[in-house]
Structure 1
Amino acid sequence: MKFSHSIQFNAVPDWSSNYISYSNLKKLIYSLERQINKPQGEAQDEENTSLLGGSLDPDTTFKRMLDSELDKVCSFYRLKELEIFGELDQFLKDAQDYEAETQDVNMDDVVDTENQRRMSRSQSVFNAPFRRKRRRSTMSVSFEEPELEDDSDSDAEDSAAMLKKKPSMKPRSKSAFQTTPDLSGMAESREDLRAPDTSPSFLRRRPSLALELDANDPGQVSALYDSGITLKKRAISLYVSLCELKSFIQLNQTGFKKATKKYDKVCNRDIRKNYMEKVVNPSYPFQEATLGHLEENIAKVEKVYADIVTKGDQDMARRELRLHLREHVVWERNTVWREMIGIERKAQAANLGIRQTLLGGGQDPSRVRLQGDRDASESKEIVTPVGRYRCPRWLFSSTFFTLVTTLAIFLLLLFVPILKKPEQQNCFAMLIFVSLLWATEVIPLFVTSLLIPFLVVVLRIMRSDDKPHQRLDSKAATKAVFAAMWTPVIMLLLGGFTIAAALSKYHIAKMMATFVLSKAGTKARTVLITNMFVGMFLSMWISNVAAPVLCFSIIQPMLRNLPADSNMSKALILGIALASNIGGAASPIASPQNIIALQNMKPSPSWGVWFFVALPVCIISIVLIWLLLLVSFKPGRGTTIVPIRPMKDKLNGVQYFIISVTLVTIVLWCTSHQLEGIFGDMGVIAIIPMVLFFGTGILTKEDFNNFLWTIIILAAGGLSLGRAVSSSGLLHTIAKSIIENVEDLSVYGVLVVFAALVLVVATFISHTVAALIILPLVQQVGASMKEPHPNLLVMGSALMCSAAMGLPTSGFPNMTAIMMEVPETGVRYLHVKHFLTRGIPSSLLTFGVVITVGYGLMVATGL
């Protein structure tokens, strides 16, 4: 959680305006950063000049703001301390008076006596309506209606006190005003409360001193009881206030540390140590003596609480007070957190509305509903010959009509005979059905994947391997389809996620990236290509989903110091997105489509072979895209670049361990073919980092739960689809018909055809979905050719899946890039036109590299 959110979450709501204004300090830091990095001689902005108070010294300006915040915090603390300590002094005096009054009185008897009186009153009130109305006489005892009592102190009177047994042979509760119920014998206690006291008089306890006092002065026992309850409540309230005061000191001290640290980091200064030691720490709230005095007062409250409530047991008193504090904070935080979430949701809804306007209404309004539209009617009235009816509005949305149309096509293909064999007919209908669901995304992609094993079993699509013409029954088909969903390839994907999580969690990837980017200098063309190669490299190891997010966070200082409409900003963001797409082909674990390709390649190529083919293709493609961006954006014109500073943190033992395990795992993956006799498959090698990272506590179960399980389910569903299509014979039938049309083409011609097909399909739908649908077909076509080269065709098509980047929706990096906004205005850096004019040419350039350089390298490796 960011500290600006944390300070809101942990602050006392009534004191919120008196904490350090961390958000305002951050805004000032970024303004000073822009001021520092302005070229010399450039005219100063009036807004910045007024912000600096006419001074151009950023250190003086920032310290002046810090001094103002410090004065605010110190003034409030002194006033609040005076108020709370005054209440504490009065509380201690009242506690002494109370102890003097109760010096010779057994408070257990007082509590028992008062509880008996109050229970008898409550029982009389409960039973009064059911009693017969008796005629008054001199012999009858008059019934007095109980006085109405204030229930505001019901928590102080305690459920435990109400559960306390009537005087009996059992031992007493340890505390006179105990709040924790005694669970032993609770059932008997409840029964005792319900039943009248019918025990013989000689077994009843003799009247105590408290009862004698009550007989002589009926109000004295009640007064002592109420005084004890009041003191207990005051002790709890004071304990909470003192702890809040202590939290106020700690939160603000942390805020000053973080603000000065951020200023040093962003503006490349070094004021933190000096300012904290000479200004903040000597201030009254942050002195050790102040905190020590506060701790002493907390201890005094604990002692008084122990004397009054827990009969001198300070450990129990401390536990009870902390429990009360915890309940108070939980309730308070729950309230504050709900308000914060509400504000955040409203802001997101407003931003969503702006984005919809900027996108020109390109998204289906049935999928996105603004906050202000929730009050609108969610039903629609329709008129029929038999009357008027109100139907849910979603029934009239384009999403619902798309789903209905897809289902209609599925049913039509099931019953209209197209293929001779029923299993192939059913498989063809299922293939078209799931392809349409994936392409239109009317339901989530992973949900469609979960449908595949269900349809395979119900439609009896799979056939026996031993008897190719015999369809499997439901039980056998279930085992076969689920076995296809969990393969070594899925373990390889999990191993890749594990390495990515470790590199990202311990900032190793960020340290490497900032180190490389710090060497790029300030020339626009050098900075651009360096960022693109960093994006490609990170995509190889932490996936092309996480890599652009990390890169965009690293270049934030650079973007803040560029004008909002700068061509350099556009080129930088678009360049990282396109390079991350290309990087998705650079290693077998970089993207799900590569995992699917490995599953369809028999035998699977080693990592060394993959690198030999993919790295030159990716490097050449990125260089060509870089030239395209330089020519089209001309980012060097009037651009002043702020260099990125490397992280100064030194590698620790855990980080060295993570790097060592990652390198060893990669080496084993690269030599997996030579080690088949030991490990069998790359999926088994993937278990090594999982066991070492999760087993040693470097990664936790929360990290495991945060894996992209939707991607894993999507890949597993695709594997089961490929197995079903192959088992039914449909794949062979389709491949045979395609071969008849391309039989005159060479392997190179077939590669060009399929690479172009994949490029078009993957541009409009997900790269992973395109691979799921097309790669099994490509493998079957390649295996059925006169000169079989299935691995060559599959790898070429897999490389083209990552090269499809002509639209904002063509891949995760593009989706991330299109949503990047200028912080001050909320306006997006990129628009759809930028992807059309640069993304499509980039895809065509990569297509040319794959069918030339890539083809030559694949032939050289013998694929």
Structure 2
Amino acid sequence: MKFSHSLKYNAVPEWQEHYLNYSQLKRLIYSLQAQELHVVDNSGQVNHERLNALEGSTKALRKFKQKFRSKNGAKNAASRSSDDGEADTEDVNVETLELDDLKYKKGKQTDFERRSSLSSDRTLFSAQDTFLSKLSDERAKIDDFYKKLEAQLYSRFNTLALDLHQMSAGARRRSSVVAEPQMGTGARRRSSVVAEPQAGGHDANDSLDVTSSAAARRASRRESVLSRRNTLNLEAEDEEEEDDDDYDGHAFENTALLNYSDFNVKSQKRSILRKNLIDLYVDLVQLKSFIELNRIGFVKITKKFDKTLNCNVKQELIESAQFFKGVYVFQSETFETLDSKIAKVIESYASMTSGDLASCKEELRSYLRDFIVWERNTVWKDMLGLESHNNTFTSAGRPDANGDISKLDNITSLEYRVWHLPRPVKIGSWTWSRVQIPKLFFTLKAYKLYFIIASTIILLAVPTFNDPAQHRCMALVTCVAFLWASEALPLFVTALLVPMLVVTFKVLKTDGEIMEAADASSWILGKMWSSTIMILLAGFTLAAALSKYNVAKVLASYLLTIAGTKPRNVLLMVMSVCFFLSMWISNVAAPVLTYSLIQPVLKTLHYKSPFARSLILGVALAANVSGMASPISSPQNIIAMNYLKPYGVGWGQFFAVALPSSILAMLLIWVLLILTFKINDVELKKYTPIKENFTLKQYYVIVVCLGTIILWCVESKIEDTFGASGEIAVIPLVLFFGTGMLSTQDINNFPWSIVILAMGGIALGGAVQSSGLLATIAGALQRRVMDYPIYAVLLIFGIVMLVVGTFVSHTVSAIIIVPLMQEVGDKLSGSKAAPILVFGCSLLASCGMGLASSGFPNVTAISMTDEVGNRYLTVNTFITRGVPASLLAFLCVVTLGFGIMNSIL
């Protein structure tokens, strides 16, 4: 595994910015390599053409540097033997460089002396100085952060040591009270302080040292006050223990009945201390990994620097430990102290659980693995990591397979296509011997943009409608639709372009007249921020809270436990879990969360295993059909609810139609997967649930989420109070972010590209409606379908929606087609036509899942890989199962869904 990936996977997310910035240092190295090539040519002058002349490989660089040094060495010798005694400035500097290097290698000059001498004596560019300066900054950053973090954790360590000392002292007093009942209270109290017996075979000081004697004395005084209460309650405890003897331990095995020993104060205190020991162990081990990971990072980055620029920094500074002298975090004493603290935590845990040291150590490591798997990241961080993993660009600044140095710095450098002219062209003082055009103008994305721009210009030049505003609006819609469909630009970038294009194309009208640019700009920008966007943000907020506080994972793990060990049952339960999660935390985030839940199962299966492939694909397809199950499960539903509101369709009616249709579709897809994948020969182990007692914060999350959903469901009854669903959406935002349950980092991790895409869709819909284009197209379609029954109209446009949703994202297809369905429905006879068409088409937008690019769940699924990077699914897998699944979901909506819609709307 590349170290950049190892650093990403092993770094504690909350400490991310305090690790060695490996990627930035890599970019710096390649940038320094490029700059060094630009410094001088054989004549001692800067030669900007040298970079294009070399291939850029490390081998070519080394040859060039050796050639450069040998020639300059010869020139230095010649200049020293010349009569005038003068030397070229560049030659003197090269000589100084070589002398300094010799001193440095012999140990006569320290790193900092060398850097100061170089900065004062040398005029040549020094890549090593620049690199070492940046490396020193990283070292100081890491050291400062470690000191602060260590102080916090060691403070917790000392506090926990005090608590354990108190518990051990209390146990000794209990033992002395039982052994000497005739002793007075004061005598018992005095003897408890100096008592010798050990609880569980260990003294408290054998497990965790109490660093402050004053703190120990305060603890003893507190314990002596409590001992009187313990003595008074001793008889009552003995009675309880006698009552407990009536229980038959074998008869009540595996039962929920509790006795006194399960819920008394002493037992709960032990449980709390045990949990604190586990938490402290996890934090201390992560602190240790912080040191190890950064030390490895320094070794790796200096190795890369030496290899790229032909230096010896790794051996001279890192392996000799000279670079780490005086740096607290990398001292051996620091590491040994941390190791001893971890060892004492393990010993203390063993003494509390009365287990042997080896088994307790393995148990704590198991807790550590569970913490990393389940609790380290919120779902949004997982999604961002997945998006980064799928980025088509490799690590920034890395040379390509051909060693092209022009790619060494992707931020500032460009690749060029070069055409040499037959003869130089002179214009004044300028001379051209060749033509250079950046290669980015010849990429596939560039060709897509050329086609879209040309199509838009043609549509603007050729009248398509009698009304000029509608004519320009048609060109605008075509341009935006092509950009979204081809993804020549990222979807959210196109969405950001929409308001600007609306104003410049002059398509907005007021009272039949074209709006002025200033008025049009205010109108379209105001249109983008609406109640729909607020509901979308509220949905992401609920998802972040349910994920961050483990509510969704814990509930989902118990559901998976019910499945047993039969593969078909496990597949159905996994799909049901994803379906359920998608309803409340959106079908964008739910697949990521579900995949993390089934990782223990996937790790035991080969990536070509039919069962592993059915699990991955089942999660994606379940998330797709669940995208129509609730109003907040997908962006297209939120947009559709905005168009359904005028017809009185609320959350209750939405659930009544969408939930049965989507459940039936999921069951049919489950049967399809069972028939097309041979999964019955797989042996599985029973899934273990995540056992976690909910805290007050987790119950708070559940109450706020349920309360928000209930308010949305009864919105029509409380419209006079809140006005719109977007106002209700403010409640979870305030209750979670205002109380500190969610932080600024959580809102920064929201998928803002989806929010921007929805805003662009709303703006486009408003522009098409304002220009009158929507009414004109709807009128033309209405004349063609006016004689058809509403069911036939739904089938026609449903197929269109299904096809568009398969090749374009579900949200984009809903943005384009749903407003048109509203206009067509309003012009047809019957009050149910418009809501049925809008409702049906919005549900069918989620049914297009025949390609790997059809919707966010499919994109997530095709990106899933095993531990060595092998993909579970292929595009062919989606075509052979996704297309039939799309047709099954389509049939569910146009049969069961249409029947319910026709009866309740």
Of 838, 849, 854, 2:881 maps to 838
Residue 151 of structure 1 deviates from its aligned partner by 10
Secondary structure of the structure 2 residue equivalent to 1:389: strand
| Cα separation, partners in 2 of 1:716 and 1:152, compared to 1, 3 Å | closer
Q: Tell me the equivalent position of 1:517.
A: 560
Q: 1:658 to 1:343 in 2, by over 3 A?
A: farther
> CA offset at residue 740 of structure 1?
2.4
In structure 2, what is the Cα distance between the partners aligned to 1:343 and 1:779? 63
Equivalent of 1:439 in 485, 488, 506: 485
Q: 1:245 to 1:718 in 2, by over 3 A?
A: closer
d(CA) in 2 for partners of 1:524 and 1:841?
22
Kindly state the Cα deviation for residue 716 of structure 1 after the two structures are TM-superposed: 0.9
Aligned to 2:796: 753
Instruction: Answer yes or no: is the 8 Å Cα contact 2:607–2:871 preserved in 1.
Output: no
Residue 651 of structure 2 corresponds to 607
Contact 1:562–1:641 (Cα < 8 Å) also in 2: no
Aligned residues: 564
Q: Which aligned pairs between 1:362-377 and structure 2 lie closer than 5 A?
A: 372-373=400-401, 375-376=403-404, 377=406
The letter for the 2-side match of 1:455 is L
Structure 2 residue matching 1:288: 3-state secondary structure: coil
Partner of 1:483: 526
| 3-state SS of 2:465 partner | coil
Measure how far apart 1:154 and its partner are: 9.2
So what's the TM-score if we normalise by structure 1? Answer: 0.60
Distance in structure 2 (CA, Å) of the matches to 1:572 and 1:398: 34
* Equivalent in the alignment of 2:895: 852
Deviation at 1:786, TM superposition (A): 2.4
The answer to whether residue 720 in structure 2 is matched with residue 677 in structure 1 is: yes
Could you tell me how far apart the structure 2 residues matched to 1:565 and 1:793 are? 42
Conserved? CA contact 1:581–1:811, under 8 Å: yes
Post-superposition CA distance 1:152-200 (Å, at most 9, x none): 9999x9xxxxxxxxxxxxxxxxxxxxxxxxxxxxxxxxxxxxxxxxxxx
Give the whole-Å Cα distance in 2 for the aligned partners of 1:244 and 1:712: 38
Match of 1:416 among 449, 462, 466: 462
Distance apart, 1:579 and its partner CA: 0.1
Contact 2:19-2:290 at 8 Å conserved across structures: no
Query: In the alignment, does 2:866 pair up with 1:822?
Result: yes
Q: 1:282 to 1:604 in 2, by over 3 A?
A: same
- 1:338/1:548 CA distance change after superposition, 3 Å: farther
Q: CA deviation at 1:595?
A: 1.3
Measure how far apart 1:343 and its partner are: 11
Q: After TM superposition, give the deviation of residue 659 of structure 1 in Å.
A: 0.5
**Which string of whole-angstrom CA distances, capped at 9 and with x for unpartnered residues, describes residues 232-278 of structure 1?**
xxxx9xx99x9799899989x99xxxxxxxxxxxxxxxxxxxxxx99
Task: Measure how far apart 1:281 and its partner are.
Answer: 11
Name the structure 1 match of 2:810. Answer: 767
- Structure 2 equivalent of residue 621 of structure 1: 665
**Deviation for aligned residue 1:539:** 0.5
Taking the aligned partners of 1:335 and 1:415, their CA distance within structure 2 comes to: 64
**Are 1:632 and 2:676 matched, yes or no?**
yes
What amino acid maps onto 1:471 in structure 2? Answer: I
Give the Å deviation of 1:2: 8.3
Corresponding position of 1:5: 11
TM-score, length-scaled by structure 2? 0.57
- Structure 1 unaligned residues grouped into runs of 5+: 15-148, 158-235, 255-276, 294-328, 345-361
Deviation at 1:861, TM superposition (A): 1.4
CA distance 1:419–1:445, change in 2 (3 Å): same
CA distance in 2, matches of 1:595, 1:549: 21
For 2:14 and 2:509, locate their aligned partners in 1 and report how far apart those are by CA, in whole Å.
62
Aligned equivalent of 2:442: 396
Give the superposition deviation at 1:766. 0.8
501 and 785 in structure 1: CA distance in 2 versus 1, 3 angstrom threshold: same
> Is 1:380 aligned to 2:417, yes or no?
yes
Q: Evaluate the alpha carbon distance shift between residue 444 and residue 685 of structure 1 in structure 2; reply closer, same or farther with a 3 A threshold.
A: same
Alignment of 1:281-296 (within 5 A): 288=209
> Are 2:831 and 1:793 equivalent residues in the alignment?
no
Matched ranges for 1:415-814 at <5 A:
415-464=461-510, 467=511, 469-601=512-644, 602-603=646-647, 605-637=649-681, 639-788=682-831, 789-814=833-858
1:366–1:397 Cα contact (<8 Å) kept: no
Shift of 1:647: 1.1
Pairwise CA distance, 1:657: 0.8
Deviation at 1:545, TM superposition (A): 1.2
Whether the aligned pair in 2 keeps the contact of 1:558 and 1:643 (CA below 8 Å) is no
Structure 1 CA distance for aligned equivalents of residues 464 and 395 of structure 2: 36
Equivalent pair of 1:562/1:640 in contact (CA under 8 Å): no
Q: Distance in 1 between matches of 2:787 and 2:303?
A: 65
Change (3 A) 1:364 1:515: closer
Distance apart, 1:621 and its partner CA: 0.2
Amino acid at match of 2:672: L
The whole-number CA distance in structure 2 between the counterparts of 1:247 and 1:720 is 52
> Match of 1:380, SS?
strand
Contact 1:281/1:287 (<8 A) preserved: no
Structure 1 residue aligned with 2:318: none
> Kindly tell me: are residues 821 and 472 of structure 1, through their superposed partners in 2, closer, same or farther at Cα, counting changes over 3 Å?
same
The DSSP-based 3-state class of the residue aligned with 2:436 is: strand
**Separation of aligned partners in 2, 1:567 and 1:671:** 45
Separation in 2, partners of 1:280, 1:524: 48
Match of 1:358 in 2: none
Change (3 A) 1:786 1:565: same
**Partner in structure 1 of residue 135 of structure 2:** none
Question: Following TM superposition, by how much is the alpha carbon of 1:829 offset from its aligned partner in structure 2, in angstroms?
Answer: 1.2
Q: Distance in 1 between matches of 2:712 and 2:871?
A: 41
State the secondary structure of the residue aligned to 2:434: strand
CA separation in 2, counterparts of 1:397 and 1:833? Answer: 26
Q: Residues 280, 473 of structure 1: CA spacing in aligned structure 2 closer, same or farther, 3 A cutoff?
A: farther
1:415/1:564 Cα in 2 relative to 1: closer, same or farther (>3 Å)?
closer
CA contact (8 A) 2:19 2:294 kept: no
Match for residue 188 of structure 2? none
Deviations 1:714-768 (A, max 9, x none): 1111111101100101011111122222222111111001110011011111111
Name the CA distance, whole Å, in 2 between partners of 1:503 and 1:374: 48
Q: Which amino acid in 2 is paired with 1:372?
A: D
Find the residue that maps to 1:807 and give its secondary structure.
Answer: coil
SS at match of 1:558: helix
Structure 1 residues 641 and 330, CA gap change in structure 2 (3 angstroms)? closer
Pair 1:785–1:370, CA change in 2 (3 A) = farther
Query: 1:201 is matched with which residue?
Result: none
| Ranges in structure 2 where 5+ consecutive residues have no aligned partner | 1-6, 21-107, 117-139, 159-198, 214-288, 305-389, 407-414, 424-432
Distance 2:524 2:854 in 1: 30
2:802 counterpart letter in structure 1: L
Change (3 A) 1:496 1:342: farther
Flag the 1:343–1:415 CA change in 2: closer, same or farther, 3 A. farther
1:683-725 Cα distance to aligned partner (Å, 9 max, x none): 1111111111111111112111221211111111111110110
Contact 1:366 1:399 in 2 (8 A): no
The 5 A counterparts of 1:7-156 are: none
Which one-letter code corresponds to 1:472 in the other structure?
A: M
* SS of residue matched to 2:513: coil
